[in-house]
Structure 1
Amino acid sequence: MRKLLIVVMVLTTLLIFAQTKLTIWCSEKQVDILQRLAEEFKAKYGVTVEVQYVNFSDIKPKFLTAAPEGQGADIIVGAHDWVGELVANGLLEPIPNFAELTQFFSSGLNAFSYGGRLYGLPYALEAIALIYNKDYVPEPPKTVEDMIKIAKEIDAEFAGEVRGLIFPVTTFYFVVPFIFGHGGYVFKDTPAGLDVRDIGLANEGAIKGAKLLKRLVDEKVVDPADNYQIMDSMFKEGKAAMIINGPWAIKDYKDAGIDYGVALIPELEPGLVARPFVGVQGFMVNAKSTNKLLAIEFLTNFIAKRDTMYRLYLADPRLPARKDVLELVKDNPDVVAFTLSAGNGIPMPNVPQMGFVWGAMDDALNLIVNGKATPEEALKNAVERIKAQIQ
């Protein structure tokens, strides 16, 4: 029986690698490194891997058109929030469990999970954190109360020439850490996946987070007129002491000569961490592909390895999805801080219904910070609006 099993395994492997070509669609940042990896894979296994550049914004719509016809890429590289729509259309192949998965951060794996199954191999995480100018804030605040105190002191000392704290208070994405940290949620996470009928954006925790936001406005710690562009430009000009932003902005701050640091968004209360949204990039397999077994082999036995993931990081230095890769780059404090923030976070819902949330919540936040509705009223109405659109 054991000999038969070995023979079957050998024949299966031979059948998989008898397929001679894989096609990958990816955006600009991954092209060069994936082409180098493809050459190594071909040299080792004799399988051609063709890497094709597609604009990031075009990958999903192009895949949605091509894949149902049995065409297009065998593997696409993209965002985890595509998963719900692609799975609903029967276009993604589940990735089976394999030993290397224990080395990946759970936030990355959860992001690519849908209905209890894994539909993507994560390689990079993304989350916002506190970014501070060391000229004004030598050590980052540990709690929200500390952050408020420091911001008020800077506002008073510089009389408006330098702002203590800026972030877009009417943009849901940037307010999420305060809402989720207190216990709010978008859709209930269940063993079977996200329950879009259970919306936690007007529960006790969400209301508490919104009240904290209103307090920041009432005490003039933040300005409701601030948007992302104002925050970003003032920090680059050295006129903001603390902001909340993501790793995508760091290069510009370096180029501007700002002596900055990155830290966790301060605890809402001692021991109560802020929980930002986590975005994840990864590899997904075309369920309609005749090469899907080979594609899964390529991902699980080649791409998923620590050394390969480290090389992906070096080529496209986003927050690594593997714990042991983070260990290799722990001398980079920015990467460590942003990754720890992502570790506290919650994956952005990967279901199509998430599209109804953004506008409703941005509108609710506008009403709250401008005093046109109480947090209870604004959030209750936002949830009703989201439910109506889903139905």
Structure 2
Amino acid sequence: MKRFLAVLLIAVLAVSMAACGGSSQSQQNTGQDNQSTTVEGNKGVELTVWSHLTETEVKKVQEVADKWASETGNKVKVLTDNSDFQAFATAANSGKGPDIMFGLPHDNLGTFYKAGLLEPVPDGVINDSDYVPLAIDAVSYDGKKYAIPLSMESYALFYNTDMIKEAPKTWDEFVNVAQKYGFMYDINNFYFSYAFISGNGGYVFKNNGGSYDVNDIGLNNEGAKKGFAAIYDMVNRYKFMPADIKGDIAKGNFQSKKIGMYISGPWDVQSFKDAGVNFAVAPLPKLENGSDMKPFVGVQAAFVNANSKNKDAAWELMKYLAENTPIPLFETGNRIPVINSVLNSSEVQSNEILKGFADSASKGEPMPNVPEVQAMWTPANNNLTLITSGKLAPDKAADQIVAQMKEGIATMQ
């Protein structure tokens, strides 16, 4: 998964100070063109959109934006952008930033939010009930939306249909199939292994009604420790994979048909098709306690720059793009829609592969959208390596993860 990392606290503080004077934290889609009401006075405006989507996807977004521009008498430039947070903040605070950022992983929004760069979403731009609930949660702070969700992604279980006719649904079925046909994944990557922890009752930060308590870390509670023990067992008890397994090796073994199951995301679909692998995708199996695994879900989001001089027009364009880009992005980039009517449409539901990822995501939870989440990755990944190698007991590693996260968060205060 591609992740646009936020910079350290020094950059956030510097930008926040610079932004203090200028920030103002203030239809169902079928893929067909929808009518967009234009507020009188927002004609003849030229809007700039930056996007972290792929070049091909950006072209599709430009096509949709051009239709809006033609209907409203405005102009829109959609540009591919790979800059980091500091570059965006510098541009935004100097009046050289875009009006809209379109296509940004939601777990990076917290840094922009704390720097005062996100304009609150006005009433009427979207209806929350039209969206998958977790998508709304992913772009909200203290119950208020600061971005528009565009699509979601998560990981699921790939299985070779020449070997396995039906995906295992229970833990016992999963273990039996894995022992017979083989199973691997990037086990020391916390992004993928989190599902085993969350399904047992662990969590990163306590979510109190849409607000994360970064002082309440649940990665060493009883459930989390059971999850870490299950991860240990997959290497040391069941011998599914070596302790030093890497994602590319696991992928290669599935692609070469050496193993029957593999955990990953939609980004691996095309390479398996090109290699002639007959496969299907299903939600992760239930855990030994009977609970669903809860994989991390990433949401691609879009926001209006709080320093834009054309906010009204920008929100009109944003509404139009939110309504009219889901199907083009689904067809072009395998982006799973977050608008319920599109997600449940025949076009999406008939794609069995992407439906498998959508079903898996429906059981998951969004990655925390606060800057403090950056303090999670290194301790979690390092301690997973200690667990799988047998160098540190799962319960001790869990305690160490939390202690190291607290140390990291303290440096961000």
Q: What's 2:78 paired with? A: 51
Instruction: State which of 146, 166, 170 in structure 2 corresponds to 1:139.
Output: 166
Q: What's 2:234 paired with? A: 216
Deviation at 1:230, TM superposition (A): 0.7
Identity %: 37
Matched positions, count: 366
Distance in structure 1 (CA, Å) of the matches to 2:274 and 2:343: 24
What amino acid is aligned across from residue 71 of structure 1 in structure 2?
K
For structure 1, which segment, 260-269 or 183-192, has the greater mean C-alpha deviation from structure 2 after superposition? Answer: 183-192
Distance in structure 2 (CA, Å) of the matches to 1:370 and 1:260: 30
Residues 1:242 and 2:266 aligned together: no
Residues 1:320 and 2:337 aligned together: yes
Contact 2:44 2:73 in 1 (8 A): no
For structure 1, which segment, 142-151 or 61-70, has the greater mean C-alpha deviation from structure 2 after superposition? Answer: 61-70
Q: What's 1:353 paired with? A: 372
Q: What's 2:120 paired with? A: 94
Deviation at 1:59, TM superposition (A): 5.3
Give the secondary structure class of the aligned counterpart of 1:294.
helix
Deviation at 1:327, TM superposition (A): 2.2
What amino acid is aligned across from residue 312 of structure 1 in structure 2?
L
What amino acid is aligned across from residue 84 of structure 1 in structure 2?
G
Deviation at 1:102, TM superposition (A): 1.7
Contact 1:107 1:342 in 2 (8 A): no
Deviation at 1:70, TM superposition (A): 2.5
Q: What's 2:93 paired with? A: 68
Q: What's 1:161 paired with? A: none
Larger helix percent: 1
Q: What's 1:199 paired with? A: 217
Deviation at 1:271, TM superposition (A): 4.4
Matches within 5 A, 1:136-285: 136-154=163-181, 164-191=182-209, 193-217=211-235, 218-269=237-288, 271-285=290-304
For structure 1, which segment, 222-231 or 310-319, has the greater mean C-alpha deviation from structure 2 after superposition? Answer: 310-319
TM, length-normalised to structure 1: 0.89
Distance in structure 2 (CA, Å) of the matches to 1:314 and 1:60: 29
Cα deviation digits, residues 65-122 of structure 1 (max 9, x gap) = 1112232100012111221000100001111343533221112221111232212111
Contact 2:130 2:339 in 1 (8 A): yes
**Structure 1 unmatched runs, 5+:** 1-11, 155-163
Contact 1:143 1:270 in 2 (8 A): no
Deviation at 1:367, TM superposition (A): 1.7
Contact 1:83 1:114 in 2 (8 A): no
Matches within 5 A, 1:298-377: 298-300=317-319, 302-305=320-323, 307-328=324-345, 329-377=348-396
Contact 2:200 2:289 in 1 (8 A): no
**Structure 2 unmatched runs, 5+:** 1-37
What amino acid is aligned across from residue 313 of structure 1 in structure 2?
F
What amino acid is aligned across from residue 389 of structure 2 in structure 1?
N
Distance in structure 2 (CA, Å) of the matches to 1:103 and 1:192: 18
Compute the RMSD of aligned alpha carbons: 1.7
Deviation at 1:330, TM superposition (A): 0.7
Instruction: State which of 15, 24, 37 in structure 1 corresponds to 2:49.
Output: 24
Distance in structure 1 (CA, Å) of the matches to 2:332 and 2:164: 32
Q: 1:183 to 1:123 in 2, by over 3 A?
A: same
TM, length-normalised to structure 2: 0.85
Matches within 5 A, 1:115-130: 115-130=142-157
Q: What's 2:31 paired with? A: none
Contact 2:298 2:367 in 1 (8 A): yes
What amino acid is aligned across from residue 342 of structure 1 in structure 2?
A
Contact 1:127 1:279 in 2 (8 A): yes
